[in-house]
Structure 1
Amino acid sequence: MDNDTRHIFFSFFNEIGILAQLSRAAMEARLPKGLTLPHFSVINHLIRVRDGQTPLTLAKAFQVPKTTMTHTLNGLLDHGFVEMRPNPEDGRSKTVWLTDPGRRFREDAIRSIDPEIADLQKAIPAERVAALLPALAEIRVFMDAYRD
């Protein structure tokens, strides 16, 4: 690989990493006390992909140890945002299901960053951000498949 290509891809992922850190800090600052971005991320994943997944499936999706996912799920259970049900395919494991309060938590969390989004929109119009989404989704799909 030539240096120019390497630099382009490194710069791309470097910018993504910085954006991830900045957006994480903004979101976590707005979440209710005792809740973290991993809590929000699991709820968001269950809505975006589907609920009814096992903790192990979620751990693999987030590339974290099962014990870490169990800890995150326990926090969501304590807040009443998810419930565990027996796995109909395997009586030994459980599946994770969203509750109505969990769905409301996600919507409230998204709404909570409206001030930051409004300021961003003043600097960069929504149309420019929307134009980036297809390429970002294409890269995400590739990288998600590549890790498997």
Structure 2
Amino acid sequence: MSDSPPPPDDLFSVLTEIGIIHQLSSTAFERVLPDDMRLSHFTLLHHLARLGGGWSPARLASALQVTKGAITNTVKRMEAKGYVCVEPAPDDGRSKQVSLTPAGLARRNEALMMAVPALAPIAENISADEAAAALPFLTKLRTVFDKARD
């Protein structure tokens, strides 16, 4: 096994595959979401459920790689449904803090359960060992991209 960097063509092939997987999985997932939920709504709820705590809209926009306007719109929609709570930030009353409500966590969990049938083709074709083996590489790649954007 070589420690030398991969040639650019190989890197582009990896990114192309990831891009195609993203497009196909997003489309499949969006089809099974509840009628009143878009992928952007689920993404916000899932992010808050995974990482917890209160997040400023600017930090959410950066983390989810969307504009501040887009995150403001999504937060307002989720707040109107009672899925997130928007409060003044404890350290700076001028800024806001977005956090997940119990109803938001329940709705995110419901959406995840609705997606289970869409995962069947993956589960039928990829073993647990293959999925586990892919995670370190994918996590490392994500970490590299995370560091490069800041």
Fold equivalence (TM over 0.5): yes
Structure 1 counterpart of 2:147: 145
Cα separation, 2, equivalents of 1:118 and 1:108? 17
Residues 23-47 of structure 1 show CA distances to partners (whole Å, capped at 9, x for unaligned) of: 1111111111231111111111112
Cα separation, 1, equivalents of 2:117 and 2:73? 31
From 45, 48, 57, the counterpart of 1:43: 45
Cα separation, 1, equivalents of 2:45 and 2:127? 28
Residues 63-106 of structure 1 show CA distances to partners (whole Å, capped at 9, x for unaligned) of: 22211110011111122110111111111111011111111111
- Any stretches of 5+ residues in structure 2 without a counterpart? 1-5
Structure 2 counterpart of 1:70: 72
Cα separation, 2, equivalents of 1:34 and 1:15? 30
Give how far 1:118 is off.
2.3
From 111, 119, 122, the counterpart of 1:120: 122
| Shift >6 Å, 4+ stretches | none
What SS does the aligned partner of 1:76 have? helix
Cα separation, 1, equivalents of 2:33 and 2:117? 14
What SS does the aligned partner of 2:98 have? strand
Cα separation, 2, equivalents of 1:68 and 1:9? 30
Structure 2 counterpart of 1:97: 99
Cα separation, 1, equivalents of 2:68 and 2:90? 20
Cα separation, 1, equivalents of 2:132 and 2:72? 35
| TM-score, structure 1 as length reference | 0.92
Cα separation, 1, equivalents of 2:29 and 2:102? 21
| TM-score, structure 2 as length reference | 0.90
Give how far 1:116 is off.
2.2
Give how far 1:128 is off.
0.7
Number of matched pairs: 145
**1:135 aligns to 2:134 (yes or no):** no
Cα separation, 1, equivalents of 2:54 and 2:37? 22
* AA in 2 matched with 1:97: S
CA contact (8 A) 2:29 2:118 kept: no
